[in-house]
Structure 1
Amino acid sequence: MALLPLLAACAQAPSAPTPPPEHPLYPGIQDGEFFIQPVPVRYLTPETVRQEVVYTGPERPGTIVVDSFARRLYYVLEDGRAMRYAIAVGRAGLAFRGGATVQRKREWPSWQPTANMIRTQPEMYAPYAAGLPGGLENPLGARALYLYRGGRDTMFRIHGTVQNASIGHATSAGCIRLFNQDAIDLYNRVSLGTPVKVRTEDDSLRLEGPVHDDAYGRIAMGPTEPLTAEEQILLSGVPASAR
């Protein structure tokens, strides 16, 4: 019996669980009083990771270019380069069109649904009619750029989101969403008065090539690829409303 304490002391302590991997561009961030969780690596692909790319569009450096069809946002740099970000855009009929300028910027902005949002989807938006303060539960995320046209607020925003799974989809109420980490990166580059241009479908096809939604509703480039056996199995368990 005397050996039992000794044996217990020699037993190997259970190892701590291995934390999930973090992408170096999308780690957990302490931002003021709020901690932004890392973006799960399953949402990070060559199409969704922020990167500097060659830019062949006609826009001048310092312009934000939104491609709702390819679900990409570019911040045009000097020397034919741009920062490219993946975005979520509005569902059919709700996407922002035309041009605007950034006239306001906010960190951890408050949010209030528009009268039209409350009227058309009261079950979703009426409980928030009084608005929400900035924070981790706020749909505008960590940063917001407010788009104006002709001196008037368009009510459209470029903003962060905690709904990481939405990036690459056409799923928002019309605004342009980025991963919170990307929203912070873009926010730090943009000054008031920055022009914003939204590409037409013809512009997108000419500059990005053909795009389509994959089986999960995410944007994909080039010709449609058949589903793998694994993807077919996964998709069979996904409700149609979530596809």
Structure 2
Amino acid sequence: MPSSIVIHTARRQLELFEDNIRINRFPIAVGKSSTPTPHGFYYIATKAMYPGGVFGSRWMGLSLPSYGIHGTNNPASIGQAVSLGCIRMHNHDAELLYQYVEIGTPVKIQS
């Protein structure tokens, strides 16, 4: 069951697809105006459980070095444009997403 992710920075939403059918939608935080989340086509390059600190309980690194999808130790930031360019999620949402994605899962980031 191939998964893919589409991130809408303007709506601050992440959508998870399985076989081209949307199976979930999550609220996210995105990059602030001085460090915007980069639009484009990427893939999940690394995965880590409990990376610590600002990354919350899960890290899913993108093929663009230094950028990723991760949990947060600041849940009040979800829905805001506050990150250094990464995609922040509530920890429980990041944990759910982590179960679905594999190394190589496509990620499309758009406005």
Quick check: TM above 0.5?
A: yes
Picking from 100, 103, 108, the partner of 2:50 is 108
Residues 158-197 of structure 1 aligned to structure 2 (within 5 Å): 158-197=69-108
Match of 1:140 in 2: 55
Match of 2:21 in 1: 80
User: Alpha-carbon deviation of 1:180?
Assistant: 0.3
Count of residues paired in the alignment:
109
Amino acid at match of 2:92: Q
TM-score of the two chains, using structure 2 as the length reference: 0.91
Q: What is the identity percentage for the equivalent residue pairs of Structure 1 and Structure 2?
A: 39
User: Alpha-carbon deviation of 1:78?
Assistant: 3.7
Q: Aligned partners of 1:101, 1:76: CA distance in 2, in Å?
A: 14
Contact 2:12 2:28 (8 Å CA) reproduced = yes
User: Alpha-carbon deviation of 1:196?
Assistant: 0.5
Match of 2:41 in 1: 99
Q: Which runs of 5+ in 1 are unaligned?
A: 1-60, 110-133, 202-243
User: Alpha-carbon deviation of 1:82?
Assistant: 2.6
Q: Aligned partners of 2:20, 2:4: CA distance in 1, in Å?
A: 14
- Map Cα deviations across residues 25-45 of structure 1 (whole Å, 9 max, x no partner): xxxxxxxxxxxxxxxxxxxxx
- Map Cα deviations across residues 184-241 of structure 1 (whole Å, 9 max, x no partner): 0000110110010012x3xxxxxxxxxxxxxxxxxxxxxxxxxxxxxxxxxxxxxxxx
Contact 1:102 1:192 (8 Å CA) reproduced = yes
Q: Could you list the runs of 4 or more consecutive aligned residues of structure 1 that deviate by over 6 angstroms after TM superposition? A: none
The structure that is helix-richer by fraction is 1
SS of 1:95 mapped into structure 2? coil
Match of 1:220 in 2: none
Contact 1:105 1:145 (8 Å CA) reproduced = yes
Residues 15-54 of structure 1 aligned to structure 2 (within 5 Å): none
Contact 2:15 2:22 (8 Å CA) reproduced = no
Q: Aligned partners of 1:81, 1:197: CA distance in 2, in Å?
A: 14
Greater RCO (Cα-Cα under 8 Å, separation 6 or more): 2
TM-score of the two chains, using structure 1 as the length reference: 0.43
Q: Which runs of 5+ in 2 are unaligned?
A: none
Q: Aligned partners of 1:73, 1:99: CA distance in 2, in Å?
A: 14
User: Alpha-carbon deviation of 1:95?
Assistant: 1.5
Amino acid at match of 2:100: R
Contact 1:77 1:83 (8 Å CA) reproduced = no
SS of 1:183 mapped into structure 2? helix
